[in-house]
Structure formats: structure tokens, C-alpha cells
Structure 1
């Protein structure tokens, strides 16, 4: 592939000469106070569509990403739009069409008769009928060359060589995504698992793993749930089910321990159910927590730090439920350390050993936002973890965020 097309980015942002882990919202509040609240909660990236919205983001110390209609190619209108925005100092990332592969394969509007009505049956794509295959191949043959043309134009005129990101659906087709993946810098998906009928928050770990594989090692940004399904027109439910703070925290850190390099939230602009303000505060409590850890989140992973569960032989835990275990990421900045542990199982692990820390013997760790203290001995330390619990161990409490309101949100 021509090098001008190939994506080389690492997924992080640069602001004032410092690397930043993306903490983003699709919502761009029209009210200045609301935008300020978002910025003060550690959000550093918002969706922008023009220079005015980029100006607003910049005024609040944030950066912006701009969505582009890559699927139409490098039209004259497209070129003018890109040239208008390319010099703006707050522009951080170009975004391609959202869920582009999903849109011509498994999108529900393809079979709904009051929408596109391309397919006669629900699930036509998953049945791999001749019609679904033919339609998708025809669409890809038109869209993919246009996307490559548009990306080549962006890279030819962007003075900052900004990264290009495309977000997909969790289950977007591998074969079609691979037709454009080498042209982009950042991949990833959206995944919104919390519903009234089920709350499998830990599946975000699997979604992150999948998109690291789909992207062939490219940086992955994960788009998480900032809404309740009943607030959407097509939510197909009347029951409010916001993610609790603990669930939002579990989803974010499961993504991070599995290698995500950005966390964004979609759907907060649709909030209208009772409890919406309390839910928003819970999201801001989490983004504040992540923002306080910025130096760690952009640091290399210390891969020699490992974790294992040494359990007690209880017979009341079914084998299938005990297969995930505990995930870890260990980071350091200067002389400070952070170790993130995520219990991915629905039962407790009473013996969780973190090892590989021989150079830290005698070093004391505190649990951020908790009471536990421990010290490294013989290159390891031991803790216990409740079902689906997240624990952050750091060498100092200065890495805690001041924002605490919202951490008890449990609706």
C-alpha cells in the first residue's frame, strides 16, 4: 500500500506537548455551562462539525474530532470542508463514517419496511442469503475505493498528519473491515450491554479483544454506554436501565486492561428518563477518575507484572463461570506506579496474586478509592476481589480525583 494511505498513529492525543489518553463524548452541549462541566470532569475530546464547535471546545481546554463523509470520495465539497478545518489548532482526529460496514450488512434499517427495505427478512445478513451477499459486495465495491480516495486527500493536505479513526459496530464483518483497515490509524467499536433484561458489562473485554484482532494491532478506541435504551426511539423497551457507576467503571477498566487506548461515551444527548442527572454525574465521576490517571494511561504497559488467581477449592462455583479470571495492567510514571485489576468473573476470587514486581520489594501500595494497603514482598502482593470488582493500587493517593459525587450511583 502507498505509504501516504497507511495509518501509523498510536491512538493517543497530543495537547500542549503532552500525550493524552482520549476521554471523549459524542455529545457537544450547546450550553456553555454544560460544556464547562464536561471539561472540568476530565473530558478532553468532543465531537465537532465546524470551526465554531472547534472554537468552543478549544475555549474550554478540550480538543475535537470531526466526522467526515469518506464514503462519497474526495468530492469538491469534501475537499473544501477538509481544507477549512485542517488548520484549526483544536482539531485532534478525523472520523470516518460511523459503523460503515454495519450499514450495508447487518443494519436493522436494511430489513425494516418503513426504512430502506432492502432485505425482505430480519437477519438476512446472518443467514448469508444470496441477496445479502450480493448487496453487500455491490456496496463495498462502491464505498471502499471512495474511502481510500478521501483518506488519501486528507493525508495529502493535513499539515498535522492527524490520525483517522473509524468506529464500527461490535460485530461488524471482518472481511469488509479488512478492506479499509490499513488506511486508518484507529479502529474500535461501540458496545452498549446494559438493558433491563440483562447487564453483561464484562463483555466489553471481549469486544476490545476482538477489535484488537480485527485491527491487526492498531490502536482501539471503545465507545461505551452513556444512556438508557428506553430513551432511544428504537430502544424497544419502556424500562429505564442506566449503567450503575460500578458497571460503568467495570466496562472502562476492562477495556483498558485489554488494551484500549481511548474511552468515549455515546448517547448522553438523548438522556430524558428519571435519574438522568444522577447518571450523568456518575459518568463524570468516572471520567474524572480516568483523567487523574492520565500519565499512567499513556505510559507503556509493564508486561512483566502478571496476575493469577489462586483459589481455595470451593465446589460451589461452576467451571464455566470461573474461566475468565482477573485481568491486569501495570504502568509507571517516574517513580510512581499504578496496577489495575479487574475481576472478570461473577464470583469472588479470594486469592489474587500480583507478581513480577521484584524491583519493587518493600514498596507500599494503597487502593485508590478504598481502604486496602499492601506492600510488595518477594516480588508480589496478594489481594481478594469481589465479583466483577475493579481495584486500583497506586504508590500514592495523589492519583485520586477530587470529584466523588456520583460514585454511589446504583440505579
Structure 2
């Protein structure tokens, strides 16, 4: 949640050095080395569409069979395999695991999506099943909500743990188990299974026709880092407009997509706060080819930075502000610094609703006299006195590298802006 603060008095809180993802939280690429997960829940039906996705740097897709894994492997991708672990140690789960566990493209086992949310807070408990007389029963912590959720937790969580134990028993490659939750899933309930999984995280889709609260993603990463107590956090981000989801979720909504710059902010705020993987949900509902291309432009950009995203070399630098103090709401300016071989990457993310025109990064003595190239921009900076000074618009991302070669060649989709995002041009590619 955003907190009113005077910027200078909270300066030290405005600068977070995110930890490099532990190598165990990454996935193994086709060549055996670690890669940062850039995934989609969607597995395109057509091979040409799957190849386009792979060409955009996507390296992870959701699969449901050995045949799906074969298709993923054919384009150099890895697979996330969902299992109904909440059903317990069933013969069906055992058989499914046995059928696919030796496939080289299998990277991660996925547990039931938003499992805690489904029996505590899900709107369908009121709108569909009528278990809750009122929609806000859970938030008011009524006896009805507590009795129902505790009963369901007593049924579901033990079976969930049994299902996870089957994976541990049968998978001799010790692949990680990941469970995605809703951003506000109950922390106490989640702790009942957290020790038994390897990767946690949440989904958050903040852009709609009513508001565009991008820093909800920032808040989501921070919340699930705390809940996970050191577990890697994967963030599931928005690749759809709410009205595309049908009457239940999107009834009465106007077509509204994230712009490219908004999607870019959501990805980088996840990364600088320590997210160990990013996946996109909802693209199978997409009716806009332009929106799809904007996400592919972003995954292409992130894929080009793979050497830095998996690097554990974190040069120590200092961030300061050379400007008049401002009262604002937000997380300040975040700085992500990585080194890969002789090359450096510096990412600056302004998570405030105000501009910052004097962002000083010092401690760059090793780069003295060298140029930091702004990838996808013209604001190149020369390191002088071990320092650079950058300017950032509200919610702006700037990416600098000692080499311009880390810029993706893909340009289509980067100009997806307000007109397209609001109107949602209908031009599906699939």
C-alpha cells in the first residue's frame, strides 16, 4: 500500500537493491545454463504462432501433456505442468507425473491456481454458489466466512500436501513446485503449505477502464517476498483487457489494455524488487494483435538482457537525489545494477507519481570515462567522477548498458500507446 511521505525524510527507503535470483529459482535453458523465466500461460495452437512467441524471447509455456512438451521443446521452450494437487495422492496424479517426468522440456510443476483465494475470498462464493450471503463476508471476517474457509482448509490443504509429496517421491530430477496466488490471498492460510513448495508469487492485473494502479504490482512483489520468507517470487502480469474475459469478469467494462510503457513498468518494477520470474496471463483471450505485439516487444527486450538477469555480480552503487524535496506517494526510484562479464546494466525505475530530474548514481569508478548507452532511447550518459545523473518522468523506466548490443532488434509493438490501448484495435493474429 502507498504511504504518504515526505520524499527526503524517507530517502533511504526509496532505494532498494534487489537480490539476484538464486540460481535454484531459475530454470534450465536448452543449453543447460540458467535462464530467467519469461513465460505465458497460453500455448498457441498453431505451430507458427508458437514459433512467433519463441522468437519474442518467451522461454516458458503452460503445458498439459507429453505432446505439449514436445511442441515446446521444438522451439527451445520449457514447460510448466499444472497438477490438481488439491485432490491428493490420486492414481491420476501419479500416472500423469510418471508419463511426463522424464521429458527434457519439463521445468516446473504447478499447483492449483489461487487455491487459498478460491475458498476464502473468491466472488463466486457469493455470486455463484451462494455460500456467502454478501460479497464482503471474508473481508468482514464474519462467522459464515470463517467457518466455511476453515472447513475447506481442513479438507484441501492436507490433500494439497499429499499431492506435493507424490511429486517429491516420483520426480527424480527434483523440479520445483510453484503455486500462484491472488495478490491478496490470505497470508495465514498460505503459510500452511509454504514450507512444502519451492516458488511462490501472485497475479495482478491493475489496468482497466476505471484505474491504472501500476504500483499494485510493486506492492504485490513486496508482499509475496514477505509471505514467502525467502522463497523465489514469480509474478503473473496482464496480457488482456478485462472486457475480453466475458460477462462474469468483464461485463459493462470498456476495452482497455496496458500501454507498452505500462507493461514495461510492471515488468521492470517486478524485476528490481526481486521477482525471480515473469509470466503473462490472459493472452488466449486477446482480440488485439497490437496488444500481443506490445507484449512480445517487451519479452524480446527482457530476453536480450538474460546475461544480466541471471548474473549474481552486483556492483555496489549509491543513489541520491539532487532536487527540491517533494511530497509524494510511492516507492521512490529503484536501481538495479548487474555485471555480466565486462558489461554492465543499470536499470532505473521511477515508482513515484512525480518526476525526478536529478537522480545521481555514484560508485561507478570502474566505468570512469565510459559511455552508458540508454537502450531504446537517446539519453546516453558519460561516467564522470564515478557518477551519472539521470532524469525520470513519473513511472518511467530507463535502461542503460555499457554496450548497445543488448538492445533487441524488435521494434514492432513498442509504440502501442494510449489510443490503441483505450480503443483496442481488433486484429487478432491467432
TM-score by length of 2: 0.89
- Cα–Cα, structure 1 residues 110 and 267, in superposed 2: closer, same or farther, change >3 Å? same
- Structure 2's unaligned 5+ residue stretches are 1-21, 422-430
- Of the three residues 86, 98, 118, the one matched with 1:103 is 118
| Preserved CA contact (<8 Å) 2:328 2:352 | no
- Cα–Cα, structure 1 residues 301 and 186, in superposed 2: closer, same or farther, change >3 Å? farther
Please state if 1:166 is matched with 2:148. Answer: no
Match of 1:399 in 2: 406
Give how far 1:93 is off: 0.3
Match of 1:379 in 2: 386
| Preserved CA contact (<8 Å) 1:226 1:268 | yes
| Preserved CA contact (<8 Å) 1:309 1:326 | no
Corresponding residue SS for 1:285: helix
Alignment of 1:152-163 (within 5 A): 152-163=165-176
Match of 1:263 in 2: 278
Match of 2:35 in 1: 20
Corresponding residue SS for 2:409: coil
Alignment of 1:9-408 (within 5 A): 10-15=24-29, 16-112=31-127, 115-233=128-246, 234-272=249-287, 276-300=288-312, 302=314, 304-313=316-325, 319-321=327-329, 323-408=330-415
Give how far 1:191 is off: 0.2
Work out the number of aligned pairs and report it: 394
TM-score by length of 1: 0.93
Distance, in Å, in 2 between the alignment partners of 1:63 and 1:101 is 27
Corresponding residue SS for 2:138: helix
Distance, in Å, in 1 between the alignment partners of 2:147 and 2:322 is 52
Distance, in Å, in 1 between the alignment partners of 2:258 and 2:110 is 26
- Cα–Cα, structure 1 residues 203 and 310, in superposed 2: closer, same or farther, change >3 Å? farther
Match of 2:19 in 1: none
Give how far 1:307 is off: 2.2
Root mean square deviation of aligned Cα: 1.4
| Preserved CA contact (<8 Å) 2:54 2:77 | yes
Match of 2:10 in 1: none
Corresponding residue SS for 1:338: strand
Give how far 1:301 is off: 5.9
Give how far 1:72 is off: 0.8
| Preserved CA contact (<8 Å) 1:43 1:62 | yes
Distance, in Å, in 2 between the alignment partners of 1:142 and 1:301 is 45
Distance, in Å, in 1 between the alignment partners of 2:177 and 2:275 is 16
Corresponding residue SS for 1:365: strand
Q: Which has the higher contact order (CA 8 A, sep 6+)?
A: 2
Structure 1 consecutive aligned stretches of length 4 or more whose deviation exceeds 4 Å = none
Once the two structures are overlaid, the 10-residue window that deviates more, 349-358 or 395-404, is 349-358
